[in-house]
Structure 1
Amino acid sequence: MKTKILVAFIALVLFSCQNKEKPASKNIIKTIVQDTLSKTLGGTANLSKVTAKNDKVIELIREQLLVVLKKDLPVMTKDQRFFYYDAFDLNNDKKDEYFVGFSNPYFCGSGGCSGYILNNDGSVINKFTVTDFPIFIGTTSSENFKDLIFKSGNTLHSLKMKNGKYPLNPSVQEKWKGDIPAASPVILDIYAKKLEKYSF
């Protein structure tokens, strides 16, 4: 009889413990979810392990850089071999073009930094030089490609597609008049957004 009472008592204790643990675990999960959500909305969440970019695109850019910078690679240090990128559909063909930028002494000087604009297939549309980041997408188009607003030497310049290319050097292009349109997307905001860098 004592054994049956003891078994019943143990079963009752285990049952009551299980019932108490479930709400507690639900509360813990709810707390974690709420904390993560509030930090994400507030911009303080640690998203360093989140893959925000497409691995195929990164590999495509990496391969193209190894081709266009083939002569530079032997003299570059490991610390200089990294890039940032941003994607934007410049010609409304439902395929992104890729802006590739750098922020180290090999690619940057007193006038700014250099970089590339690549097609969706990785081919080079343009190289650009003496540019301060970020780059802005304009609200008008030329040759079915969005006009761009580049900052160079503390001055904004308008870059328009001509004969399938944007100008190489923004600093010698027409100065942008007025403010940047509020609707202009921001590209390669390397410093403010702290974009992830990738090696090549």
Structure 2
Amino acid sequence: MKNKILVLIGILALYSCQSKNESKNIIKTIIQDTLSKTIGGTADLSDAPSRDDKAVALIRKQLNVLLVKDLATMTKDDRYFYYEAFDLNNDQKNEYFVGFSNSYFCGSGGCSGYILNNDGSVINHFTVTDFPIYVTTSSTEKFYDLIMKSGGLFHHIKMKNGKYPTNPSIEEKWKGDVPKESTKVLDIYDKKLEKYSF
């Protein structure tokens, strides 16, 4: 409720500050629309990233194939995923990081997930990973190196023969802090990524 009141005050202040020479009709229409959505509870006040319906459909279809043997034992609450797109090999096509955060896919060592190509094919499956994953600026085999946290430690993950290793906990430990120029992906807990069913 406080958010709605703050939005209303901000909009009213913006409206009252407009000069008389400006086109008030456009601003008035925007304000009225925003006010009605805010009061009605239909305004989207979150900062969740916009979704790509094609990517969601592609990932959903692929998960139903990859996890076909698991589907019968999974509950409805187990069947959701998060994703984030990132161009890992500078080919102007995004790859998809797909992660989970429920007990079916997560244990004491971390969670499982996938990295998919733009066409939905699997680059690799990974296990025992804590989110987020960091994409560095260095690369191996034309793919950016990753830093994954597993067991409380960061590990340097490099492409090997066209695949990233599946178990980050046995890879080379990362020494020092995560480089500031690295990009966080699948920041499931802090970024409030949208959750999708499959």
| Length-normalised TM-score, structure 2 | 0.79
User: For residues 128 and 146 of structure 2, what CA distance do their matches in structure 1 show?
Assistant: 15
User: For residues 136 and 27 of structure 2, what CA distance do their matches in structure 1 show?
Assistant: 48
**Please, which of 57, 63, 66 is the counterpart of residue 59 of structure 1?**
57
Task: Give the match for residue 187 of structure 2.
Answer: 189
Larger radius of gyration: 1
One-letter amino acid matched to 1:96: N
Which sections of structure 1, spanning at least 5 residues, go unmatched?
1-22, 36-44
SS in structure 2 at match of 1:192? coil
SS in structure 2 at match of 1:135? strand
User: For residues 190 and 49 of structure 2, what CA distance do their matches in structure 1 show?
Assistant: 19
User: For residues 54 and 195 of structure 1, what CA distance do their matches in structure 2 show?
Assistant: 13
Task: Give the match for residue 135 of structure 1.
Answer: 133
User: For residues 58 and 180 of structure 2, what CA distance do their matches in structure 1 show?
Assistant: 32
1:46 aligns with 2:54: no
Q: How many residues are treated as equivalent by the alignment?
A: 168
CA RMSD of aligned residues (A): 2.3
Which deviations, in whole Å up to 9, do the C-alpha atoms of 1:19-56 show, x marking residues without a partner? xxxx9866645756999xxxxxxxxx6148x8711101
User: For residues 51 and 156 of structure 1, what CA distance do their matches in structure 2 show?
Assistant: 26
Task: Give the match for residue 88 of structure 2.
Answer: 90
Question: Which structure has the highest helix share of the two?
Answer: 1
- Where does structure 1 differ by over 2 angstroms across 4 or more consecutive aligned residues? 23-35
User: For residues 197 and 34 of structure 2, what CA distance do their matches in structure 1 show?
Assistant: 35
One-letter amino acid matched to 2:146: L
One-letter amino acid matched to 2:134: F
User: For residues 183 and 116 of structure 1, what CA distance do their matches in structure 2 show?
Assistant: 23
One-letter amino acid matched to 1:46: L
SS in structure 2 at match of 1:66? helix
Query: Which aligned pairs between 1:142-181 and structure 2 lie closer than 5 A?
Result: 142-181=140-179
One-letter amino acid matched to 1:189: D
| Length-normalised TM-score, structure 1 | 0.78
**Please, which of 66, 70, 73 is the counterpart of residue 72 of structure 1?**
70
Deviation (angstroms), 1:179: 1.1
Cα distance change on mapping 1:32 and 1:73 into 2, 3 Å: same
Quick one: percent identity of the two aligned structures? 64
